Amino acid sequence: MSNLADQFKNRKAFIPFVVADDPDFDTTVANIVALANGGADIVELGIPFSDPVADGPVIQKADLRAFDAGVTTEKVFEIVAAARKLTSVPIVFLTYLNIPFKYGYERFLNRCVELNISGLVIPDLPFESKDEIDRYAKPLGIDIISLITPTSKDRVEMIAKEASGFIYVVSSEGITGERDEFYNDLKALIARIRAVTDVPLAIGFGVHTPEQAKSMADIADGVIIGSAIVEVVGQNGKDAPKAVEQFVREIRQGVDAEVSKAI
C-alpha cells in the first residue's frame, strides 16, 4: 500500500492541486515545492487532457496554457523528477484514463513507482472498470483513488468498501470550480461512507476559502482545493510560487483551526 492514509493520522490533511506545466516546467516545479512548504500533506498534480470532463473553466484554461508550453506525459514525469530533488511530499496524479492507457498501464505505473507517486485520481474511470488499471497498480503499492459523489446513490457502500489510500468525496454535483453552496446532505453521505470503511475521506470540488476548508475539515479527514489555487497560478504566471505558498498557508490555518477547536 502507499503512504497516503498515513498523511491523515496526525492532523486533518490538506491536498492542494496544480496543473503540470502551467505555465511552464520550472514554475510547476517551484509550485509543487511551494505547496509543500505552505503546508500540503499531499499534492495533487493534474496531467493536462484535451477533454477534461470533470473540470470547469479555470482548470480547462490551465490545461490550455500547459498545451501551449508543450506539455507531454513524459514531460510531466520529468517535472516530478525535478521536484523530487527538492521535496518528498506525497504526490498523486489527477489523470484521465486515456493518458495511462495510451502510455501503457504497466509502463506508466512503473514510472510512478520510480518517482514515488502514491496514487492516481481518475475522474472518468467507472468503479466497475477500476480493475482495468488497479490490477497493475495494487501490486506496486499505488492507490487508485475512489471518487464518491452525490449521484453515487446506491453505489456508495460498494465503492467505499473497495477503496484504498483515501476517498475523494465530491462536494457537489457538476464540474470543478469555486462555489459557495454545497450538497445539502454531505454529512449524511459522509456517515454512509464511514459506516463501511476506515479509509480517510477528503472533500473536494468548490472549496476555496479558509472558512470553507475549516467547515469541510469538521466533517471529513481532509480537504482538497484545486480551482482556487489554479486561479492563483493563472493570475501570477511565472511569479506564482510565492503567491501559491501564501494562499496555501492561509488554507492550512483554516484546516488546522478545526483541529484546535476539537482539542
One of 21, 22, 41, 44 is an active-site residue; which one?
Answer: 44
As a whole number of angstroms, the distance between CA 52 and CA 129 comes to 19
55 catalytic per annotation: yes
CA 164 to chain centre: 14
> Do 223 and 203 contact (CB within 8 A), yes or no?
yes
- Residue 116, exposed/middle/buried by CB under 10 A (0-12, 13-18, 19+)? middle
Contact (CB, 8 A) for 14 and 27 = no
Single-letter amino acid code for the residue at 67: F
Cα pseudo-dihedral 253, 259, 260, 261, rounded to 10 = 110
Distances (CA, A) of 46 to 15, 62, 186, 256: 12, 10, 25, 25
Contact 154, 126 (CB under 8 A): no
Look-up of cell digits 488554507: 251
Torsion of CA 155, 157, 159, 165, to 10 degrees: 160
128 in active site: no
Q: From CA 115, how far away is CA 78, in angstroms rounded?
A: 9
Say if strands 91-94 and 222-225 run parallel, antiparallel, or are unpaired: unpaired
Task: List the catalytic residue out of 21, 22, 24, 55.
Answer: 55
Q: Which residues, at least 6 apart from 161, have a Cβ–Cβ distance to it below 8 Å?
A: 196, 197
Residues labelled catalytic: 44, 55
